[in-house]
Amino acid sequence: MIAFLSNINIEPIKGFFEEETYFGGFNQYALELIDEKSRLHSKEITKVILFIDGEEFLRDLICEQLPNENILKEANERIIELLAMIKQYISKKGDVCFLINNIVLPVHSVTFNLKNRAIDFLDIEISMNKKIKEAAKSIHDLLILDWEMIVKSIGFNNLHDDKFWYLGRIKLNNKAFAAIAENYQNLVSAYQGKTKKVLVLDLDNTLWGGVIGEEGPNGIQLSEEGQGKIYREFQAVIKLLKQMGALLCINSKNNENDLETVLSSHPMMILKSDDFLVKKINWNDKAQNMKELAQELNLGLDSFVFIDDNPVERENIQKSLPEVVVPEFPKDISTLKSWFFESVIYKYFGKIYLGEEDLNKTDQYKTKLKRDSFSIGLTMNKFIKSLEIKLKIHHNPTEYIQRIAQLTQKTNQFNFTAKRYSEAQIRKFIEDDKVQVFGLDYEDKFGKEGLIGVAILKINQEKREAEMDTLLLSCRTIGKDVEYVFLGEILKKAQTYNILKIKFEFIETGKNEVAKTFYAQVKGKDEWEDLESLLIKSLEKTKINKIDIL
Amino acid sequence: MERFLSAVSAALGMDVSSLSINLSKNDISEWDSLGHLKLLLGLEEEFGIQFSMEEAGTLSSLQDIFNLIKTRTNHE
C-alpha cells in the first residue's frame, strides 16, 4: 500500500495509481512520521510519497518578507529537520521505500528583475534541494521524486491551478498528478532493479536516415545538417546510455559488407562497431535473431528493448516474443530524441546507482562471449582447468553491502529463493551474529568479474543447525563448477560454527530453472541434511578441476 | 453526451453505467466535496474549458454542467 503525505491536498492523485492508497491527514506528515502508532508505521505500508509544496512549506517566511539570508537559513533548518524525521522513520519502520520530491518555489516574485539582491528563490531552492540530495545519497531507501524536472519540462503554470487551491486546497492539476505518477513508476522500477539491460537497434531509418542497400554508405542521412542531425544526436544519446551500463546490440536486415564501412569508418557515426556487443546483421527473421541474442548473452528476453522504425518488424517481435519491450517509433522523426528519453530511457533504463560495474559492462560481456567460444572443442574438465579460475570468499563484507543487495534484486536464474533484499536488510544480516553473509569473487584468465555470488546462512548454534536463506550466482559464471566450489566453501565455514545439519530453502519462481537443477543434484532425501556428507559431495566435484581459492 | 458521462465517471472513479444525465450532487455518493473538485478538474481537462470560481461553487447537477460545457465548446 502506498501512503501519501503532503502539505497540500493531493487526494485526486488516487485515480492515477492502481495500488491501494492511504492519505495522511492534511499537513499532518511530521506527526505521522514521528508517531509510531500512526498508520504510516503499520506493516501494510510499503511505499511512502511525501509531496512538499515549496510555497506552503515556507509560507510564513516568503510571503511576508523579501528573500534574505535568514529565510535561507530557516529554510535549510526546516528541511534538515524533516529529513531527520524521515531517516528515523525509515530505519524504525524498515522495509519501506520513501519518496520525497525536490522543492520548487513559486515562479512569481516581486524581486523579479533585481540585480542587486544577494538571495532569491532560486538560491533557497538550490540549497534545500542539495540537502535532500545528500540525504538520499546516504539513505538507500530514500528516493527523490524529480518534481523540479517535471516543472522544467512541462512548466509551472501548466501544472498548477489557483482556482482549485482556493476551492479546496488542491494546487496541482491532473497533468501534474499524471506526471508524478509516471515519475513514481519509473523511479520504483529502477529502485527494484526491474529495468532492462539490452537495447537492440535496427539500422536503416533508425540509426540513420535512408536505406544503405539503396543509397550506399555515402548516401545515408547522418550529418551535422538537416535531417541527418536528428540521427546524429540520437546516436549521441544512445552512446551516453551505453556509458550508463546499457548493452547495445544490432538486429538488422542488411548485407554485412555494406555495413562494415559505415560502422567502422563513416565520419558522422557516433556509435562505432566496438560499441555493439553482438551484431545480428543478416536476412533472417528478426525474432529468431532476438532469441539467439538472448541465448548468447544468457539473459532473459524480458531484459531486452527493441527499437525499429518498421511497424511490421515491431509487430513480428511483439507477437512472437511478448516478453521483449517494443516501443512505438515516433511518426514525426524530429521528435526522435525527446521520444527516446520519455518513452524509452525514463521508462526502461532508469538507475538509482551507477557503479564501476556499469561503466565497462559491454567489455565484461565481451569477455564472457570470448570465454564461451573458447569452451567449444574442449572437454569440460580441460576447459575449466584452462580458465585458471580464481575464487575468493568474502565473509560478512561490509564493503560489498550495496553490491550484495543489488545481486539479490537482480539475479533470477541461479537463485534459490529470489528473496529481494535492500541494503539496510543486508547490513542488518551482517551485524546479526545468527546470520552469516558470504560473497563470492570471481576471476579467470579472461578478466575479473568481481562479486558475483551471495549466500546468506541462518545459524542456530544451540541446535547446531543452519538454514540457507539465499544462494545465488550471477549467470555469467554458471556451468564451470563454480557453484560446487562456492557451496563447499560455505559448508566449510558453517563447520566452524559447529553446524551438523543444513536445510536449503528453495522457492520456485518460474525463472530459476538453473538453480533448480543444481538443487536437485545436491539435495538429499531428507529436509535436514548431514553437512559432512554434503560437503564431501561438493568437494568431489572440485577435486577434479583446479579452481584456486584465494 | 457519452463523452461527458464517461469523463464524469472517470473523474469520480465510478462505473459509467450507473450514471445518467438527470442525476445531481445528492444522488451520487462519490460526489462529495473532494469529488466535486475532482469532477471539475477532470472536466476542465477533458473539454479544455475553465469554470469560474462562482460556477464551481454553484454547479450541482450533471445537466447544468453539461449545458455549461455545451455553450463553452459549441459542439456535441
Range list of β-strands (E), A97-165: 97-101, 142-145
| Average pLDDT value for residue range A425-436 | 93
Checking if the pLDDT of A265 tops 60, the result is yes
Angstrom distance (rounded) from CA A500 to CA A483: 21
For residue A104, what is the domain's CATH number? Answer: 3.40.50.1110
The reply to whether A298 and A235 lie within a common domain is yes
CB spacing of A164 vs B34 below 8 angstroms: no
**Do both A384 and A494 map to the same domain?**
yes
Q: What's the rounded mean pLDDT across residues A112-130?
A: 91
A516 and A470, same structural domain? yes
Please give the single-letter amino acid code of residue A291. K
* pLDDT, position B76: 46
The CATH number covering residue A321 comes to: 3.40.50.1000
Q: What is the pLDDT of residue A217?
A: 84
Q: Please answer yes or no on whether B57 and A167 come within 8 Å at the CB atom.
A: yes
What does the mean pLDDT of chain A come to? 90
Cα torsion angle, B42, B45, B49, B51, sign: positive
DSSP three-state, residue A157: helix
Return the CATH number at A534.
3.40.630.30
Q: Indicate if A169 and A214 belong to the same structural domain.
A: no
Q: Following CA atoms A518, A519, A524, A529 in sequence, which dihedral angle do they give, to the nearest 10 degrees?
A: 120
Q: Kindly state whether B31 is in contact with chain A, defined as any CB-CB distance less than 8 angstroms.
A: no
Q: Could you say which of A174, A191, A208 is where a domain stops? A: A191
Q: Which of residues 44-63 of B touch A (CB under 8 A)?
A: 44-45, 50-51, 53, 56-57
Same domain, A181 and A157: yes
Say whether the ipTM exceeds 0.90. no
The residue range of the domain holding A29 is 2-191
On whether both A295 and A416 belong to a single domain, the answer is no
A411: left (phi over 0), alpha (psi -120 to 50) or beta: beta
A202 and A107 in one domain? no
HEC profile for A473-484?
Answer: ECHHHCCCCHHH
Last residue of a domain, one of A191, A217, A235: A191
Write the pLDDT tens digit of every residue in A471-529: 999 877 777 778 888 888 888 888 888 888 898 899 988 888 888 888 888 777 777 88
Q: Are residues A367 and A317 in the same domain?
A: no
The residue ranges of chain B whose pLDDT is under 50 are 76
At position A416, the amino acid (one-letter code) is: F
Total tally of structural domains belonging to chain A: 3
3-state class of A496 per DSSP?
coil
Residues A216 and A186 in one domain: no
Q: Which residues contact A535 (CB under 8 A, 6 or more apart)?
A: A488, A491, A492, A495
Confidence at residue A379, expressed as pLDDT on a 0 to 100 scale: 60
Whether A538 shows a pLDDT value over 80: the answer reads: no
Same domain for A336 and A374? no
Asked if B37 lies within 8 A of A175 by C-beta distance, the reply is no
Confidence of residue A132 (pLDDT cuts 50, 70, 90): very high
Domain shared by A413 and A474, yes or no: yes
A361-385 burial, b at 16+ Cβ within 10 Å, e below that, comes to bbebbbbbbebeeebeeeeeeebbe
The number of beta carbons lying within 10 Å of the beta carbon of residue B24 is 14
Same domain, A93 and A152: yes
- pTM for the structure as a whole: 0.73
The whole-number pLDDT of residue A492 equals 87
Q: Is B68 on the interface with A (CB under 8 A)?
A: no
Backbone angles phi, psi at A289, to 5 degrees: -55, -40
Average pLDDT value for residue range A34-54: 95
Q: What is the spatial distance between Cα A103 and Cα A522, in angstroms, rounded to a whole number?
A: 54
